[in-house]
Structure 1
Amino acid sequence: MKDVYLFSGFLGSGKTSMLTDVIRQLKEKGLKPAVIMNELGKLPFDSQAVEEDVPLKEMLEGCICCSGSEKTEAQIQSLLADSQFDVLIIETTGAAHPVEALDAVYSPLFAEQLNIKGIVTVADSRFWLDRESLTPQVRSLFLEQIRHAHLLLANKMDLLTEVEQAKVVFEMQNVNTNAFILQTTNGRVPLNLLEKLQASAQISKRDINSAKLGSHLHLSSRLIELKSSFSQEQFEQWVRSLPNTIYRMKGYVPIAGVKNPMLFQYAYGLVQWMPEYIQMPSKIVMIGENVENIAVIGEE
């Protein structure tokens, strides 16, 4: 399996500095990194920081989440097919919501090949102290990026006094009680700290429907194989029974009387079905909190 890291954080927070330093550490350890870099503009400014020997896919003028999800899946499939690498790093735009970015990484077609290690959010500490001056929408996204991180870098600590440093760490820890907070300068994070992360629910070889987390991280994912067919009503009834801590599901659901499993999408309470014209694997990916405790439809 390929380890995957999602780097999140606002523009100017220090994501690219972290990326280049992590690439250096991976190479020193003899590991081959690959990068998917998402930029909102037409020009790939940040990608110039990635050395030529590192496989790189760029997504310009679009967000990795939402409408860019299919493009991200295609980029990952291309890397898996054409490039030799050990670790995939996906750097999102500052406008990407962490849950949606994580959702874009997952496709039932290759989920078994990826081990999502976690979301690493780089937060500009001075930006944090000035957050009340932000618009409500920007402030909300900033808080969401911090709340869903598995590892949180309180960056640019060298610009703050000791009192301000303590205030930043204390306040961020109140927003995200699960993440380890590392005080950093220039986005420097030790590789062994990244390697300890584990956000994917690990699937038991005895029973593909059972799963356990590698650690107690709150936001995680789970790949589920559906072993029997259902009516759409049955499946949607199960979906409605799920707690509101399940944010995303997508995959292919076998429907009684329909030749091929149907493409299924779920996001924040909304369900979408689409016909599929080729035989796809009957699997769905679930993203949320405490996904390992969810009883799956069809389980005895």
Structure 2
Amino acid sequence: MIDVYLFSGFLGSGKTSMLTDVIRQLKEKGLKPAIIMNEFGQLNFDSQAVEEDIPLKEMLEGCICCSGSEKTEAQIQSLLANEQFDVLIIETTGAAHPVEALDAVYSPLFAERLNIKGIVTVADSKLWLDRNRLTPQVRSLFLEQIRHAHLLLANKMDLLSEAEQSKVVFEIQSINSNAFILQTTNGRVPLNLLEKLQSTISGKNDGIQPAKIGVHLHLTSRLVEFKESFTQEQFEEWIRTLPSSVYRMKGYVPIEGMKNPMLFQYAYGLVQWLPEYVKMEPKMVIIGENLNQINLIGEI
């Protein structure tokens, strides 16, 4: 299995500085990284920081968390099929919502091959103090990127006074009390701190494979393998029992009367079914909070 880190944070927060330093540490340890870089615009400014010997996939003019979701899956599949590497790092655009970016990465097509180690968010400490000047939409995204992180870098601390530094850490901790907060300059994070993020749990239990991300962290995922078929009505009736803390579901659901499992997607209460013309493995990924407290279909 390959460890996967998702780097999140606003444009200019210090993600690329963190990326280049983490690449250096990985190579010094004898580990080969692969990179997927998501940028807006037609020019790949950030990707110029990645050395030529490192497998790199780029997504320009699109967000990893919306129309780029399928492209991200294709990029990961291409890397898995054609490259040898030990660690996958995905640097998202600053406009990516962490849950949706994770959804794009955690496909049922290759979920069993990846260890989603966690979301590392770089927060611009100076911008945090000035966040009230942001538009409500941008400020909300800033807060969401912080709330769902498994590791938080309070970056650009060298630009603040000691009182301001304390204020930033206290306020960010009030948004996300589960994540470790590291005060940084130039986005430098020790590799061993990244490696301590809890890996995906493997092993099967009655056809259900828990895949929690992080230790005692709210944002988790769960890989479900289906052993029986359902009607669409039965499946959607089960969906209506789910709490609002289930954000995303996608995968291939075996439906009675259908030759192949159907492609199923769920996002914030909206359901989509599509016929699948290739026989895919009947499995589904669920992303949300407190997933160990929900009953899976067949358990209720």
TM-score by length of structure 2 reads: 0.97
Provide, for residues 140-174 of structure 1, a one-character-per-residue CA deviation record: whole Å limited to 9, x for no partner: 10110001000000000000000000000000000
CA distance in structure 2 between the partners assigned to 1:35 and 1:203 by the alignment: 24
CA distance in structure 1 between the partners assigned to 2:30 and 2:40 by the alignment: 32
Please tell me whether the aligned partners of residues 121 and 145 of structure 2 are also in contact (alpha carbons under 8 angstroms). Answer: yes
Please tell me whether the aligned partners of residues 211 and 223 of structure 2 are also in contact (alpha carbons under 8 angstroms). Answer: no
CA distance in structure 1 between the partners assigned to 2:172 and 2:155 by the alignment: 12
* Secondary structure at 2:208 match in 1: coil
**Residue 290 of structure 1: how far off its partner (Å):** 1.8
Provide, for residues 3-34 of structure 1, a one-character-per-residue CA deviation record: whole Å limited to 9, x for no partner: 00000000000000000000011111111100
1:65 alignment counterpart: 65
1:24 alignment counterpart: 24
2:290 alignment counterpart: 290
Superposition pairs for residues 226-237 of structure 1, below 5 Å? 226-237=226-237
- The answer as to 2:208 corresponding to 1:209 is yes
Q: How many residues align?
A: 299
Please tell me whether the aligned partners of residues 4 and 118 of structure 1 are also in contact (alpha carbons under 8 angstroms). Answer: yes
* More displaced stretch, 277-286 vs 209-218: 209-218
Please tell me whether the aligned partners of residues 203 and 209 of structure 1 are also in contact (alpha carbons under 8 angstroms). Answer: no
CA distance in structure 1 between the partners assigned to 2:34 and 2:292 by the alignment: 29
Please tell me whether the aligned partners of residues 199 and 219 of structure 1 are also in contact (alpha carbons under 8 angstroms). Answer: no
* Segments of 4+ moved more than 4 angstroms: none
**Residue 212 of structure 1: how far off its partner (Å):** 6.3
* More displaced stretch, 8-17 vs 282-291: 282-291
Amino acid in structure 1 at the alignment position of 2:155: N
Amino acid in structure 2 at the alignment position of 1:221: S
Provide, for residues 39-91 of structure 1, a one-character-per-residue CA deviation record: whole Å limited to 9, x for no partner: 00100000000001110000000000111000000000000000000000000
Q: Percent identity?
A: 80
Alpha carbons of structure 1 residues 210 and 114: separation in structure 2 relative to 1, 3 Å: closer
CA distance in structure 2 between the partners assigned to 1:215 and 1:157 by the alignment: 27
Provide, for residues 239-267 of structure 1, a one-character-per-residue CA deviation record: whole Å limited to 9, x for no partner: 11111111000000000011110000000
Please tell me whether the aligned partners of residues 203 and 223 of structure 1 are also in contact (alpha carbons under 8 angstroms). Answer: no
* Secondary structure at 2:67 match in 1: helix
Please tell me whether the aligned partners of residues 199 and 217 of structure 1 are also in contact (alpha carbons under 8 angstroms). Answer: no
Instruction: Structure 1 unaligned segments of length 5 or more: list them.
Output: none
Alpha carbons of structure 1 residues 124 and 85: separation in structure 2 relative to 1, 3 Å: same
TM-score by length of structure 1 reads: 0.97
Please tell me whether the aligned partners of residues 207 and 227 of structure 2 are also in contact (alpha carbons under 8 angstroms). Answer: no
Please tell me whether the aligned partners of residues 212 and 292 of structure 1 are also in contact (alpha carbons under 8 angstroms). Answer: no
**Residue 292 of structure 1: how far off its partner (Å):** 2.8
Amino acid in structure 1 at the alignment position of 2:72: T
Superposition pairs for residues 1-300 of structure 1, below 5 Å? 1-198=1-198, 200=200, 202-211=201-210, 213=212, 215-299=215-299
CA distance in structure 1 between the partners assigned to 2:207 and 2:5 by the alignment: 24
CA distance in structure 2 between the partners assigned to 1:138 and 1:206 by the alignment: 41
**Residue 293 of structure 1: how far off its partner (Å):** 3.0
